[in-house]
A = this chain, B = another copy of it.
């Protein structure tokens, strides 16, 4: 049995008096995660495997979220919510976007059942057969996937190796008569890069010059770990803002994946009307649970302390994770600037990502996401992706297993 007894036993719940901090090893409730954490995580792997797969924290959510849901449901009134989402939800989202410099408006916010759903609804509203949409390589599969489901053809701009920077020059060559949109992911999944102002300005200038829409997936916008500041592309001036759709959600920053809550903000009323109409929300075929919206409001209003501690914890773990992986034979692992994803390049091991991930699962009993084309595009080849939104103890155990495997082969 590879797992320590203490992992198997699980820690006390968040309600325990002895809880020493939101992100201590003791608060990770493994028995409950084994029941509840799906999407390639604890509930879907063998009981002795540590999953560093889907980007979903192992920690209980911020207490104000639990309190807000409890208070909301206590009266039992769970009627139809407003079409675009609760006013307080849209106001808080708008305020948080304004902090990031986006000229936002609550009436241009639409509550969605998750960030993935927000991306899908945006693409459905804005793209059609015959359109081309440009995104990057590698990038999370959801960006090209949502374009394709909407009928558009995806054109990929390769990012620079290791740094994940958007290369100068090559993007404009991909823009043609049918190009309708550029889709960004910032901070970038899987490279962990926080896009620089200059990169964003170049993308924005091309969008303005060629009259393109920008869809910016900022679901990782709350997880900034290094010195590079998060800049929303929608904050780069009026001409950019009015053609920008910003999508995000509350899974990564607040651990609310199970509640399926995200949003779309459109940079103009015209775009907002188009997205709303195409979404299905006015006809109740699309929308977000009011309870999930209430949870997100609590996160935005009262989740600051929890989030600050989460970021402190993640900053410590990214150093530990990146340095120990970087030290492995054949691995090269930069520290992510944002996200809680490590994305080591592993070509010098002589193995493909699929092969290496397979060995890690079967021999080291650690599950990771292989850099396969279906997940991130061809540009992810020779990489694996590991989420470190777990306790120091679990990450240490996973890294130790990987180190032992590396030494033994």
Contact = CB atoms under 8 A, between A and B. Distances in A.
Contacts of A365: none
Given A78-B258, A120-B285, A255-B79, A291 B69 contact: yes
A187 interface: no
A286 B14 CA distance: 29
A41 B83 CA distance: 12
Contacts of A65: 76
Interface string A77-96: 11111110000000000000
A38 B87 CA distance: 12
A6 B38 CA distance: 48
Given A38-B81, A79-B33, A79-B56, A74 B13 contact: yes
* Number of copies of this protein chain within its complex: 2
Contacts of A139: none
A117 B286 contact: yes
Most chain B CB within 10 A, of A60, A78, A295, is at A78
A354 interface: no
Interface of A: 13-15, 29, 32-33, 36-39, 41, 43, 54, 56-57, 59-61, 63, 65-66, 69-70, 73-83, 113-114, 116-117, 119-120, 141-142, 145-146, 149, 251, 255-261, 280, 283-292, 295
Q: Which 7 pairs show the lowest CB-CB distances between chains A and B?
A: A60-B76, A39-B80, A37-B79, A258-B290, A120-B285, A78-B258, A116-B284
Given A56-B80, A78-B258, A117-B287, 14 more contacts: A32-B75, A36-B290, A39-B83, A61-B77, A63-B76, A66-B73, A66-B74, A78-B255, A78-B259, A113-B289, A116-B283, A116-B284, A149-B280, A260-B288
